[in-house]
């Protein structure tokens, strides 16, 4: 019981610790638009890493040069974010936006921006 109480006590802190800072020129997605854009597709980053969003909610991230693959499940949220629960127990949420050139950008909770080649 204590473990569950601790988990629920820490979870809100993780949510409020997000440092998503979209630029004024970034365009956010609504839930339906983000679902339509990513479900059933693969996005490629400039380092050649690939995120694959399966139709059934499965998710994989394959590191560049076959450096390994992470497996999990994704959920598209209402606020232009996608949350991923990895099979290892690790989870993360990232903000998805487009920039002024229409490029898909992923912004991590710590504020790092990762453009995609798509």
Nearest to 70 by CA among 83, 59, 61: 61
What is the CATH classification number for the domain harbouring 6?
A: 2.40.128
**pLDDT tens digit string along 44-94?**
999 999 999 999 999 999 999 888 999 999 999 999 999 999 999 999 999
**pLDDT tens digit string along 78-87?**
999 999 999 9
Residue 102's domain spans which residues?
A: 2-115
pLDDT at 41 over 80: yes
Domains: count for the chain: 1
This prediction has a pTM of 0.81
Mean pLDDT of 23-32: 94
Which residues, in sequence order, are CB contacts of 100 under 8 Å at separation 6+? 25
């Amino acid at each position: 019981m204590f473990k569950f109480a601790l988990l629920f006590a820490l979870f809100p802190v993780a949510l409020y610790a997000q440092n998503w800072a979209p630029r004024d020129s970034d365009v956010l997605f609504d839930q339906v638009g983000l679902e339509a854009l990513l479900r059933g597709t693969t996005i490629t980053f400039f380092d050649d890493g690939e995120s694959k969003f399966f139709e059934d909610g499965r998710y994989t991230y394959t590191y560049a040069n076959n450096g390994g693959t992470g497996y999990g499940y994704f959920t598209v949220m209402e606020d232009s974010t996608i949350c991923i629960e990895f099979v290892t127990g690790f989870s993360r949420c990232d903000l998805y936006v487009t920039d002024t050139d229409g490029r898909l950008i992923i912004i991590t909770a710590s504020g790092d921006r990762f453009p995609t080649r798509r």
